[in-house]
Amino acid sequence: MQASILPARRGWRWLVEGFVIFQRRPALLCFLVLGYWLTMTVVSAIPQIGRLANLFLIPVFSVSLMNACRLIDRKERLPRQLLFSGFHRNLQALLVLGAVYALVMLLVFAVSMPPDFGLLSEATEATETTETTETPEAPAADGASAGEAPPPAAVSIPPLAVALLVPVSVVFSFAPVLVAWHDMPAGKSLFFSLVACLRNWRPFLLYLLALLAITFTGVWALLVIGALLGSGIELLVMTAVMAISLILLPIWYASFYVSYRDIFVDLQETRDAS
């Protein structure tokens, strides 16, 4: 099986076509993302194992959201329990993939952070999507940082961790859908995901640059405004961040589905999501 090689301009079109998919069922996709956040929040509340369990489940819920995008793109009937549709097919292989992902993430932060279990736990939690919905704590009233809103959790991740997360994201990008839709074992899906991304690094580079530009002009701009105006409007700013995230994340999932559809166009036709 080979991945198609696409021109760089397709990277921008992925976002445009992902937005078209989002426009067809915006409320549904937003509610799915919100349901994903809430589910992960409940799981993370489990003592001792909650945050680690979140990492295990990320591939499963990724498939659920990609199932929704594929069904909307094909204009097919949307089944009930769509949020949990990732559990219906090849669950064992997806959980193996989740275990590998959890192990890699723990190793990344173990290498890039001091050996402090509290910091490791905090950094691991910061990588989860649910963290984007939390309101940061107010800074101390005295000192140079008084009156400034603290940066989001993602900013506190060390640069080394960010550098290590890039290849991790590349390897795991298409792996969940290759497991769920093409019956691949976890190891094979990781290999084909890596090959697909390397063969299409040009469109992915343009795609990521466009995605970063949209993110910074949206979510991050609000955080900067909140920091400049003071701590009194932190709640309002974070509410706006959450609202924008509820729109940007479904578009991101839809655009990533479009990238899969383009790159793996020559694969055998996949089965419908159950």
Domains in the chain: boundaries = 14-263
256-270 confidence digits (pLDDT tens): 999 999 998 644 454
DSSP, residue by residue, 122-166: HHHHHTSGGGGGSPPPPPPSSSTTTT-PPPPGGGGS-HHHHHHHH
Q: Residue 65: name the closest of 214, 229, 263, 260 by CA.
A: 260
Tell me if the pTM is above 0.85. no
**What's the whole-number mean pLDDT along residues 92-109?**
93
φ/ψ of 79, rounded to 5, equals -75, 165
The C-alpha atoms of residue 58 and residue 91 are separated, in whole angstroms, by: 12
246 C-beta neighbours (distance < 10 Å), count: 18
Q: Give pLDDT tens digits for 156-197.
A: 567 777 778 888 888 999 999 999 999 999 999 999 999 999
Please spell the DSSP secondary structure of 24-42, one letter per residue. HSHHHHHHHHHHHHHHHHH
Question: Is the pLDDT at 125 greater than 70, yes or no?
Answer: no
pLDDT of residue 185: 95
Q: Per-residue pLDDT averaged across 72-99, rounded?
A: 93
Percent of the chain with pLDDT over 70: 76
